[in-house]
Chain A
């Protein structure tokens, strides 16, 4: 494949062959992401079962699995989302496929390092690896800390590669950062209309915000990660624990949050396909994404509410930013999504059902997050099981459903087939019912003050862990059935007028 000159050909239409390559990249990313997701889910169930007392293992292994589970899940969802976005950007402007595989290589190498740090290294400092924890009073060998840090740095490098490629392509395509963020459009709508110029499509906003905030977040993550790597090589290098905490949470919060904003591109493209309606960029949409661009990178201060040593102003900013981050979601994206579906006569295929349910899950998880981001409430909920409650809602009933919804919409469009009604009830019932049991047990335990990250929980933790384990097993069954159904759809012959 010859090199592509982005500046010259930013408007070159993608040929059928280009799209085939792009689709292959998307499926490589999505299938890797979902496969990692599935394995991490098994680890999650093992830990919940341990807390419920069904099985027992050494707490050292519990925390090692928890470390892998946390990093693995976020990386899995990110990989799937990045693949989808890459394909969607490729439809509008040329991208070099080799760079997509380069980023993929970094992700896989990083994942391998992280796995080696846990098996056999038994690294158990969790994704937060709050300094000086990975170096003090450890039960794992020092090399595991090093391999873990290197693995994380590799994942961040892959993310940086992806972000830089998309950033460069979008800048070329939309004539600079102002065009790319729709700033030129919002302040000159009439000029755009007169010139018959299109603003960036909604999914391009998702790509642009992911690229910009991704570079910002990885900068924080790499600063902390390399700082700790230097400390690992030379322990006499001092690191400020509060500084490390800020940097790591900035990266972690941004990365985790962005998985949602990556996956939402599936809604922007998928729901219009299901409803046979159009979704265009509007002024509120552009402005909402600017809000997201800013709030995603500063809302993380809510992770440090209980660090009273942190400047008080910053705590105020944390609460305001966390509140305001919710507004673009409920006022623009979810509202527009509901408007698309309302009286559209849409069929409830698995794809449309997952996309719509994902929006509901996003609102519910967001509500729990906003409540917890209120400082007086946080005083009673910080680091209780409420916190995993909210982000499991967000990831399992938001990001995962968006990803699965996008996969099913694509497969349904391709084969012009939808799943039988009984099968849809079975899959929907198991996934939503199981998830409700699994998630409610987190919230109830959190409200009762059961701490998170406890290998052995105080009452009523174990009873609720039992409920959670049963719920998670039902959910797992639903996901397995859905996966089999997806494979069946993928093997059907391609329909004539396939879109997507």
Chain B
């Protein structure tokens, strides 16, 4: 009976620990810290599950059920670890609390069901779940150390500066050889992509612009990511000149 008492105490600690961080008020936790908190909740919950499994009677009947639970629970937990900055659940404090309790429950189930299936499996699956939570902290919803946004964005920014002017087929030619020539050929003669010489007989300037802005696969959509509105207009004007 003593181990049961310990198990209930650990359970209480787990629940407190799962709920407490959701009352963070106005303090915004970084995603990584949040993931690591999840990992700690899961460690506590798994520990609780192992304690309960120790004092529980061995499972009877079909144990395949417990095996499915111990394997599916970590996956559902990974879903619940949906990074907090984006998670729809996090906008409501109550939902966020429920999310943490759900994580605790899944952590508990992973360990408990695994041990009920066979000794050792609950430990292994708990470690797997904990590893997922820990891994999540280094890249799931965590923005990379973006050293490069500036470098990558620079050409687009320069193009944006002279937006709104008349189409410039000369600049369009530069855009074309940079972005389009690998598929459509350096002179628009075609290659992996269709031949563009004489395209003006099929599409007028407006239609060509519309197509580049919203192409059908396999042609990549480069607007508005890579190309500015002005780039699109220029390159469409250039394509119209291909005869």
Contact = CB atoms under 8 A, between A and B. Distances in A.
Contact of A219 (B67, B119, B128, B141): B128
Interface stretch (B41-49, B199-207, B214-222): B214-222
Given A137-B221, A238-B141, A157 B75 contact: yes
Nearest to A171: B120
Interface stretch (A241-249, A354-362, A389-397, A424-432): A241-249
Interface size class on chain A is: 35 or more
Nearest to A218: B128
Nearest to B137: A243
A138 B215 CA distance: 11
Contacts of B79: 226, 229-230
Nearest to A168: B118
Interface in A206-228: 212, 215-216, 218-220, 222-223, 226-227
A161 B67 contact: yes
A137 B216 CA distance: 11
A165 B217 CA distance: 44
B62 to A, nearest CB: 5
Interface in B99-133: 114, 117-121, 124-125, 128, 131-132
A216 B131 CA distance: 9
Given A60-B218, A99-B67, A137-B220, A168 B131 contact: no
B149 to A, nearest CB: 12
B119 A171 contact: yes
B75 A171 contact: no
Given A167-B124, A168-B121, A223-B78, A139 B217 contact: yes
Contacts of A16: none
A499 interface: no
B138 interface: yes
A167 to B, nearest CB: 6
B151 interface: no
Interface size class on chain B is: 35 or more
A85 interface: no
Contact of B74 (A169, A171, A222): A222
A6 B115 CA distance: 12
Contacts of A222: 74-75, 78, 132
B70 A164 contact: yes
Given A161-B71, A237-B141, A239-B139, A215 B221 contact: no
B120 A165 contact: no
Given A237-B141, A241-B144, A176 B120 contact: yes
B128 A138 contact: no
B63 A7 contact: no
A479 B78 CA distance: 43
A222 B132 CA distance: 8
A177 interface: yes
B25 interface: no
B58 interface: yes
B218 A7 contact: no
Contact of B82 (A157, A164, A177, A237): A237
B117 A164 contact: yes
B64 A242 contact: no
B61 interface: yes
A168 B67 CA distance: 10
B58 to A, nearest CB: 7
Q: Which of B72, B79, B141, B143 has the most C-beta atoms of chain A within 10 angstroms of its own C-beta?
A: B141
Contacts of B188: none
B120 A102 contact: no
A219 B86 contact: no
Contacts of A139: 217-218
A234 B67 CA distance: 30
A102 B124 CA distance: 20
Contacts of B132: 219, 222-223
Contacts of B217: 60, 138-141
Contacts of B68: 102, 161
A3 B60 CA distance: 8
B94 interface: no
Top 7 A-B pairs ranked by shortest CB distance? A243-B139, A168-B118, A139-B218, A240-B139, A139-B217, A137-B220, A171-B120
29 contacts: A5-B58, A60-B217, A96-B64, A98-B62, A102-B64, A137-B221, A140-B217, A161-B68, A164-B70, A164-B71, A164-B124, A164-B125, A168-B117, A168-B118, A168-B121, A169-B118, A171-B121, A216-B128, A222-B75, A222-B78, A223-B140, A226-B79, A238-B141, A238-B142, A240-B143, A242-B144, A243-B135, A243-B144, A247-B139
Interface of B: 58, 60-64, 67-68, 70-72, 74-75, 78-79, 82-83, 86, 114, 117-121, 124-125, 128, 131-132, 135-136, 138-144, 192, 217-218, 220-221
Given A59-B218, A223-B131, 12 more contacts: A3-B60, A96-B63, A102-B68, A161-B68, A164-B121, A216-B128, A219-B74, A222-B78, A223-B140, A239-B139, A239-B141, A244-B139
